[in-house]
C-alpha cells in the first residue's frame, strides 16, 4: 500500500500538470480565436481593396465597362488591372455577374484539380459580404479562410473572393515549447518540495506514534510527548495526547494504589486470622481455644466488611449499582439513625443530640441513605474523645435538604481535608489501624458516592483539635416526582 506521502505528492503533481494543461489550452484557444479574427479582418480589407480597384481605378484600369446603357455594365479585367491584382499575395478570385471567374491569382492557379474543384464548389455557395468560412485543402495541409465582397455599382456586377491561409493560427507556437521546458522542471521542483514537506510531517507522525507506543506500555506514563515548532496542528495533537496520558497516569496510579492498599488491608487480618487458628489448634484448654476462635471470627467479620466495601466501590465505578429510588421520608430515617447513634455515643462517652429535624421527603434509596448517615455518625463518634459532643441536624432549604453531623472531636488538618474522600485514606494510618478506631478508609469514599448517586454532594470542613462538620446536600424531588 502506497504511503499517504506518495499519494499526496502524486496528487499534487498530477493537479499541477492538469492545471497547467488547462491554462495552456485556454490561452491557445483564446489566441487562435483572435488570430482568426485578425485573418478575417485582413482578408476583408484585401477584398475591399480589390473591389475598389475594380470599380474606381480610373479609365483604362478599372474593370467596369460601360455599355450603351447602365444595365449593360459588365466586368472585364484590363491588362493593367490584371497586373495589379496579380500583386495580391493570397488567393483572389473575381467573378462576373454570371458567376464565371474572370480573374484568378497565381495561388489559385497553383491549386491541384481536386482543390480547385473544392474551391469552385465553395465559391458557388458563398454568401456575399460576410465571413465565408473555412476551406480545407486536400492535397496540401492548409486551411483557407474565405471572404467575399459584391462588386456593385448601379446593380450587381460580380464578386470578389479573397482567401487567406490560417495555418499560422493552428500551428503550435514555439513559445509553448519554451513554456513547456520551463514548466517541467518547475513542476518537478514543486513535487520535490511537497515530498520533502510531507516527509517532515511523516517523521513527526512517526515520532509521535513511536513515543506514544513507548509511553503507553504502562511503565512510562510519567513521560510526556514533546514536539516543537511543528505547526499548530501538531502542537494541538501533542497537547491533546499529553492530556490523555496525564488522565491515564492518574487513573493508573489510582488503580495501582487501590490494588496495593486493598492487598495490604487484607494481608493484616489474614495474618491475624492465621495466628488465631494456629493458636486455637495448639491451645490445650477449651476456654483459651474459644478466645482464639472469637478473635478469628472478629477478623473474618472485618475482612468481610472490607470485601463488601470494595465490592460496593467496584460496582459503583462500573456504574452497575442500582439506586432504587422511591419517596423517602427523611425525618423517621434520621430519628432511627439517631437511636443507634445514642447507643454508640453512650458506649464511647460522647453525647449525641438531634437539635432539629424537618418533615421532608426525597427520592432515594433507603438502605443507602441510612448507610451514608450512619457512616458519618460513626466517624463523628469514633473520632471524638469521651466527653465530646456530636450534633445531628436535618434542614429543609428552598432548593435542597441538608443532613449535617458536627462533632467536637480530633478534627482533620487543613492540608488533609482534600484527601479524606480518597479510598484508603486515613489521617494517621498507623494509629488508626493499631487503635480500636481502625477503619479501612473506605467509608467516606462510599458515602460520597452515595450522595452523588442521589444527585447530591458530601462536603467536609474541619479544624485540627476543634472538630469537624460533614454536610450531605440532597436535591428536593421535582413536582413531577412528588405526585
CB closer to ligand ADP out of 158 and 409: 409
Instruction: Decide: is 392 part of the binding site for ligand ADP (CB under 6 A).
Output: no
CA dihedral 85, 90, 94, 100 (to 10 degrees): 130
Which of 269, 364, 388, 443 touches ligand ADP by CB under 6 A?
Answer: 443
Strand partners, 462: 468
Q: How far is CA 139 from CA 105, 169, 386, in A?
A: 19, 19, 128
Report 403-432 residues binding ligand ADP (CB under 6 A).
407, 409-412, 420, 425-427, 432
Look up residue 348 and give its three cell numbers: 464511647
Q: How remote is the C-alpha of 21 from its chain's centroid? A: 34
Q: In the complex, what is the shortest distance from the CB of residue 432 to ligand ADP, in angstroms, rounded to a whole number?
A: 5
Instruction: Decide: is 441 part of the binding site for ligand ADP (CB under 6 A).
Output: yes
CB closer to ligand ADP out of 338 and 440: 440
Which position has the grid cell 488547462? 22
Q: In the complex, what is the shortest distance from the CB of residue 358 to ligand ADP, in angstroms, rounded to a whole number?
A: 23
Residue 273: CB atoms within 10 Å: 18
Closest of 64, 70, 144, 118 to residue 96, by C-alpha: 64
Q: In the complex, what is the shortest distance from the CB of residue 200 to ligand ADP, in angstroms, rounded to a whole number?
A: 54
Q: In the complex, what is the shortest distance from the CB of residue 383 to ligand ADP, in angstroms, rounded to a whole number?
A: 3
Per-residue contact string for residues 347-386; x = within reach of ligand ADP by CB under 6 A:
--------------------------------xx--x---
Site size for ligand ADP (CB under 6 A): 21
The interface region with ligand ADP, picked from 13-21, 34-42, 145-153, 439-447 by CB under 6 A, is 439-447
Q: How far apart, in whole angstroms, are the C-alpha atoms of residue 53 and residue 105?
A: 15
Q: In the complex, what is the shortest distance from the CB of residue 443 to ligand ADP, in angstroms, rounded to a whole number?
A: 3
Report 273-292 residues binding ligand ADP (CB under 6 A).
none
8 A C-beta contact, residue 102 and residue 158: yes
Q: In the complex, what is the shortest distance from the CB of residue 340 to ligand ADP, in angstroms, rounded to a whole number?
A: 16
CB closer to ligand ADP out of 309 and 357: 309
Closest of 211, 217, 256, 255 to residue 234, by C-alpha: 211
Q: In what helix (H) or strand (E) does residue 458 lie, and over which residues does it extend?
A: strand 457-463
Q: In the complex, what is the shortest distance from the CB of residue 416 to ligand ADP, in angstroms, rounded to a whole number?
A: 8
DSSP string, 71-82: GG-EE---HHHH
Which position has the grid cell 437539635? 355
Name the closest residue to ligand ADP (Cβ). 439
CB closer to ligand ADP out of 44 and 345: 345
Look up residue 303 and give its three cell numbers: 475482612
Would the CA dihedral through 408, 413, 418, 421 be positive or negative? negative
Q: In the complex, what is the shortest distance from the CB of residue 314 to ligand ADP, in angstroms, rounded to a whole number?
A: 16
Q: How far apart, in whole angstroms, are the C-alpha atoms of residue 473 and residue 397?
A: 10
- Residue numbers at the binding site for ligand ADP (CB under 6 A): 379-380, 383, 407, 409-412, 420, 425-427, 432, 439-445, 468
Amino acid at each position: 500500500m502506497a504511503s499517504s506521502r506518495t499519494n499526496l505528492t502524486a496528487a499534487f503533481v498530477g493537479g499541477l500538470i492538469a492545471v497547467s494543461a488547462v491554462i495552456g489550452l485556454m490561452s491557445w484557444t483564446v489566441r487562435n480565436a483572435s488570430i482568426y479574427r485578425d485573418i478575417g479582418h485582413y482578408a476583408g480589407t484585401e477584398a475591399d481593396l480589390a473591389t475598389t480597384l475594380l470599380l474606381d481605378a480610373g479609365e483604362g484600369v478599372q474593370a467596369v465597362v460601360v455599355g450603351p446603357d447602365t444595365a449593360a455594365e459588365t466586368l472585364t479585367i484590363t491588362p493593367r488591372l490584371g497586373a495589379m491584382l496579380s500583386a495580391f499575395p493570397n488567393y483572389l478570385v473575381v467573378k462576373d455577374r454570371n458567376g464565371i471567374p474572370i480573374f484568378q491569382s497565381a495561388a489559385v492557379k497553383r491549386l491541384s484539380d481536386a482543390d480547385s474543384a473544392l474551391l469552385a464548389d465553395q465559391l458557388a455557395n458563398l454568401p456575399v459580404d460576410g465571413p465565408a468560412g473555412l476551406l480545407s485543402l486536400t492535397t496540401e495541409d492548409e486551411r483557407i479562410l474565405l471572404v467575399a465582397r459584391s462588386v456593385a455599382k448601379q446593380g450587381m456586377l460580380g464578386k470578389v473572393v479573397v482567401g487567406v491561409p490560417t495555418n499560422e493560427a493552428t500551428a503550435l507556437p514555439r513559445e509553448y515549447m519554451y513554456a513547456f521546458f520551463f514548466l517541467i522542471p518547475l513542476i518537478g521542483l514543486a513535487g520535490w518540495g511537497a515530498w520533502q514537506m510531507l516527509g517532515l510531517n511523516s517523521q513527526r507522525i512517526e515520532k509521535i506514534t513511536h513515543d506514544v507506543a513507548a509511553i503507553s506500555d504502562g511503565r512510562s506514563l510519567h513521560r510526556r510527548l514533546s514536539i516543537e515548532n511543528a505547526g499548530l496542528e501538531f502542537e494541538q495533537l501533542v497537547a491533546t495526547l499529553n492530556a490523555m496520558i496525564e488522565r491515564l497516569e492518574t487513573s493508573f496510579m489510582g488503580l495501582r494504589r487501590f490494588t496495593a492498599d486493598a492487598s495490604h488491608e487484607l494481608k493484616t487480618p489474614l495474618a491475624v486470622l492465621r495466628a488465631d487458628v494456629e493458636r486455637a489448634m495448639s491451645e490445650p484448654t477449651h476456654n483459651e481455644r474459644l478466645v482464639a476462635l472469637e478473635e478469628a471470627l472478629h477478623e473474618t467479620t472485618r475482612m468481610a466488611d472490607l470485601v463488601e466495601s470494595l465490592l460496593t466501590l467496584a460496582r459503583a465505578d462500573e456504574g452497575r449499582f442500582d439506586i432504587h429510588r422511591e419517596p423517602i421520608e427523611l425525618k423517621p430515617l434520621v430519628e432511627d439513625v439517631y437511636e443507634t447513634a445514642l447507643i454508640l455515643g453512650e458506649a464511647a462517652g460522647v453525647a449525641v443530640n438531634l437539635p432539629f429535624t424537618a418533615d421532608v421527603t426525597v427520592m432515594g434509596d433507603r438502605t443507602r441513605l441510612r448507610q451514608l448517615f450512619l457512616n458519618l455518625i460513626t466517624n463523628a463518634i469514633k473520632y471524638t474523645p469521651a466527653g465530646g459532643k456530636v450534633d445531628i441536624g436535618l434542614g429543609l432549604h428552598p432548593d435542597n435538604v441538608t443532613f449535617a453531623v458536627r462533632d467536637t472531636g480530633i478534627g482533620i488538618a487543613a492540608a488533609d481535608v482534600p484527601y479524606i474522600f480518597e479510598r484508603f485514606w486515613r489521617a494517621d494510618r498507623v494509629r488508626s489501624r493499631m487503635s480500636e478506631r481502625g477503619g479501612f478508609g473506605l467509608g467516606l469514599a462510599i458515602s460520597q458516592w452515595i450522595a452523588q448517586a442521589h444527585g447530591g454532594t458530601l462536603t467536609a470542613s474541619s479544624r485540627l483539635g476543634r472538630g469537624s462538620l460533614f454536610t450531605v446536600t440532597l436535591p428536593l424531588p421535582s413536582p413531577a416526582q412528588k405526585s
